Chain A
């Protein structure tokens, strides 16, 4: 399935680096999301964009900076990360709002911060 794609799939970065994660959805959806999945923890919502506007920021540190240039693309800019930021970062998209609005996930970027 290629409905939601993410690049890169794996990323190793030092604490002083700056990198960006990219997500693209090919489903014609109007909302996009960033989630973080750490080992042994449930998925945690980071950001929600609806119609290219950020509608939710779930108390995420400023070292994570999202960008949504259009309804098909979502970026997560990373700078001065900490080792505890190592996790799987998942992008999702959905079409709504609707009662049973379903989110579709990309394959994720596995990030290791050294």
Chain B
């Protein structure tokens, strides 16, 4: 079983749509959680940290369910500029991060 699993997509959605990505992780001792965004042929960039209480940053909402070992990202009112690969990232309790393979989002006009 992969340490961090994501649906690879692609998710093709029209502008203005709401889209949700899910991610599961296998290590129940994991301590911190993130969503990173990676544009084609670029480096990953932090989108947001994910907290147990859930958190929101503008059009983006992240949720964490520790009991189910499940993380989600909701994007409302999708923009063309949201097209990218979204990486679910878990810190298993040491300084390095464990990355999922990513979910590709394509927002269409």
List chain A positions with a Cβ less than 8 A from chain B. 31, 33, 40-43, 45, 48, 50, 55-56, 58, 90, 94, 96-97, 99-108, 110
Q: Complex Cα distance A107/B46, Å?
A: 13
User: B94 interface residue, CB < 8 Å from A?
Assistant: yes
Establish whether residues B32 and A101, one from each chain, have CB atoms under 8 Å apart when the complex forms. Answer: yes
Establish whether residues A107 and B97, one from each chain, have CB atoms under 8 Å apart when the complex forms. Answer: no
- Known A41-B101, A48-B96, A56-B94; contact A99-B43, beta-carbon cutoff 8 A: no
- Chain A residues positioned under 8 Å from B45 (CB to CB): 105
- Chain A residues positioned under 8 Å from B4 (CB to CB): 42
- Chain B residues positioned under 8 Å from A50 (CB to CB): 95
Q: Complex Cα distance A99/B102, Å?
A: 23
Establish whether residues A103 and B97, one from each chain, have CB atoms under 8 Å apart when the complex forms. Answer: yes
Please give the distance in Å from B29's CB to the nearest CB on chain A: 13
Establish whether residues A45 and B96, one from each chain, have CB atoms under 8 Å apart when the complex forms. Answer: yes
- Chain B residues positioned under 8 Å from A110 (CB to CB): 41
Q: Complex Cα distance A45/B100, Å?
A: 12
Can you offer 23 A-B residue contacts whose CB atoms are under 8 A?
A: A40-B101, A41-B101, A42-B87, A42-B101, A43-B44, A43-B97, A45-B96, A45-B98, A50-B95, A56-B95, A56-B96, A90-B43, A94-B95, A101-B32, A101-B91, A102-B34, A102-B46, A103-B46, A103-B97, A104-B46, A105-B43, A106-B43, A110-B41
Please give the distance in Å from B45's CB to the nearest CB on chain A: 7
Q: Which 3 A-B pairs have the closest CB atoms?
A: A105-B43, A43-B99, A42-B99
